[in-house]
Amino acid sequence: MKIGMFIKNFAIGKEFSKNGIPTKSGAEFHCENHALQLIEHGDSVYIMTKKKYFFTKGREILNGIDLCRLHAPFRWLESIIRLITTHRNTDCFYIIGTPHFAVWAILYARMFNKPTTLVITIKEEVFEKQLNWRNKILASCTNYIAISQEIKDELIRKTEVKSSQVHILPQGVDSNRFIVVNEQVKRELRKKYKLPEDKPIVLFCARLVLRKGVDTMLKAWEIIHKNNQEAILIIVGGGENHLFDQIKAVSQKLGNSIILFGEVQKPDEYYQLSDLYFFPSRMEGLPTTMMEAMASGVPCVASDIGGCRDLIAPSEAGVLVEAEDYNTFAKEILNFIDNDSLRKESAAKGRQYVESNLDCYKLLPKLRNILQNKL
C-alpha cells in the first residue's frame, strides 16, 4: 500500500527555536512513528510538508521516509504536480492536523476515489466546518482519527461529521522499548546519571512551557520538599529559557532538590530510574510521555484533563488531580512516596494496560484498516 502523509511541519532543519523550545512537536512524533511502523510493515510511505528554511532539501530520504518539502507560496500547486508525477498511484491519504495545502490532496483523492483520513492530536486543532472553504473540504474526509474521547466529541460537534466516521485510536507506545526494570538495574541507572540510589525520585518529562503546568509543578514541589527533604525532582525536556532560569532559582532555594537534564534523544532510562511521574499539564491530546511512563512501570500523578483522563481512569495507573491545584498535587505525590505498595500496584496496572491497549504494533492493523476504509 502506498500512503501519502501530509503534515504542516516535519524535520524543519532546526532543533530549537530562538527561545529554547524544541521544534519537534507531538504531531511530528506521531507522524514519524506511524510512518516508520507502516514502512516496517511493508507499506510505501512519503510525507509532504512545508519547506521552512532555504538550507533544507526539497526532497530527501530521512530514516527511510521519502520526505518532500513544499515551497511557498505555491505549496498547493507543487503538491498536485507531485501527486500526478513523482508520487502518483497513491492508495490512500493520511493527514496529520489541518495543514492548508492538504485540502488539495483531499480534492485530488476525491477525484480518483481514494480514501482520506485526517487525525486530530489536540482539541485546539478541531475546526469549525462553516468557518471557511478550507474547513468544508477538511470536513469531507472519508475517516477521522481522534486520539482521545474529548477530541472525538469536539470533532463531531464542530465539523458535523458522522460518529461512525470518527475512530478513537491512540498513537500508542512501543512496549518492547519502554520496559520495567528490576531494582538492581534501577540502582545502576541512578549511578550512571549521578543520582542518589536510596532517595525517592519524581520525574517530569515534557516540554518546559507554561501549558505543561511548570508553575504548578514548582509550587507543588515547594510543599513536597517542606514535608520530605529527601525527595528529588528530575526534569527532562527542552523548553523556554526563562523557565530553566526560574527552575534553577527555585532549586537553589529548596536545597538543590530539582535536577535539570534538558532535552534528551532517548528518555527511556529516565523513566526506569524514577519512582513516580508528575504531569500537571493544563491541556493535552493524549500524552505520549504518560504512556511511556506507564509502560515503564512508573505510577502517574496527572491533571484531570482530556487525554490524561483517558489513560489514568481505565488503567488505575495513578491518580488525577484538578489542573493547577498544587496543594492536592503535593498531597498525592507525598502519599505515593510514602506508600510502597500503592506505587507497585499502580505500576503493575499501568504496564498491563499498556500491553493490552496501547502497544503501537497491536494498534497498527486498525490504523491500516482505517486508512484503507475497511472498517
DSSP 52-80: -STTS-SEEEETTEEEEEEPTT-HHHHHH
Place of cell 534523544: 265
Q: What is the DSSP letter of 211?
A: G
- Per-residue confidence of the chain (375 residues) as pLDDT tens digits? 999 999 999 988 888 887 888 888 889 999 999 999 999 999 999 999 999 999 999 999 999 999 999 999 999 999 999 999 999 999 999 999 999 999 999 999 999 999 999 999 999 999 999 999 999 999 999 999 999 999 999 999 999 999 999 999 999 999 999 999 999 999 999 999 999 999 999 999 999 999 999 999 999 999 999 999 999 999 999 999 999 999 999 999 999 999 999 999 899 999 999 999 999 999 999 999 999 999 999 999 999 999 999 999 999 999 999 999 999 999 999 999 999 999 999 999 999 999 999 999 999 999 999 999 998
218 phi/psi in degrees, rounded to 5: -70, -40
What is the spatial distance between Cα 42 and Cα 174, in angstroms, rounded to a whole number? 18
Residue among 266, 305, 301 nearest 282 (CA)? 305
pLDDT the model gives residue 135: 96
DSSP state of 287: -
| Predicted pLDDT at 41 | 97
Domains of the chain: 2-172+360-371 (3.40.50.2000), 183-358 (3.40.50.2000)
The single-letter code of the amino acid at 329 is: F
Cα three-residue angle 241-243-245, rounded to 5 degrees: 75
To the nearest 10 degrees (0 to 180), the angle between helices 308-315 and 288-295 is 30
**Count of helices and strands (H, E) across the chain:** 14, 14
Strand partners, 208: 239
Residue 83, Ramachandran bin (φ over 0: left; ψ between -120 and 50: alpha; else beta): alpha
Q: What is the pLDDT of residue 200?
A: 98
How high is the pLDDT of residue 19? 80
